Amino acid sequence: METSVVDAPDRGRFEVRLGERVVGLASYHVENGVMTLPHTEVDPGVGGRGIGSALVAGVLDAARERGLHVLPYCSFVRHYIQQHPDYVELVAEDDRPHFGLATAQA
């Protein structure tokens, strides 16, 4: 089944879908050029299949396309950025120490 990441701005979240079924979400808020990412969740029934990673990559790619910085309050998003340092540049340099990303290199 096809996995897709869809922005649902009226609900303040990105959704990850398997076919037509929503199996996860990442809540967000955008203000003054910054996307705050407080929470992600994925249905445990589809865990271990990379769906959470696909969701976060989709969210971060959207932030990059929109020219936004991100505040990764969600620990899953922070961990993903640590594992994929090409996304570190999305976190403003002054904010990186707060999120444990000070030593990450883009």
pLDDT in tens, 19-31: 999 999 999 999 9
Query: What is the reported pTM?
Result: 0.93
In a domain, 83, yes or no: yes
Domain count for the chain:
1
Domain, as residue range, for 7: 3-99
Q: Which residues of 68-94 are buried (b: 16+ CB within 10 A; e: fewer)?
A: bbbbbebebbbebbbeeeebbbbbeee
Residue with tokens 């969740």: 41
Is the pLDDT reported for residue 77 higher than 80? yes
Check pLDDT > 60 for residue 106.
no
CATH number of the domain enclosing 19: 3.40.630.30
In a domain, 105, yes or no: no
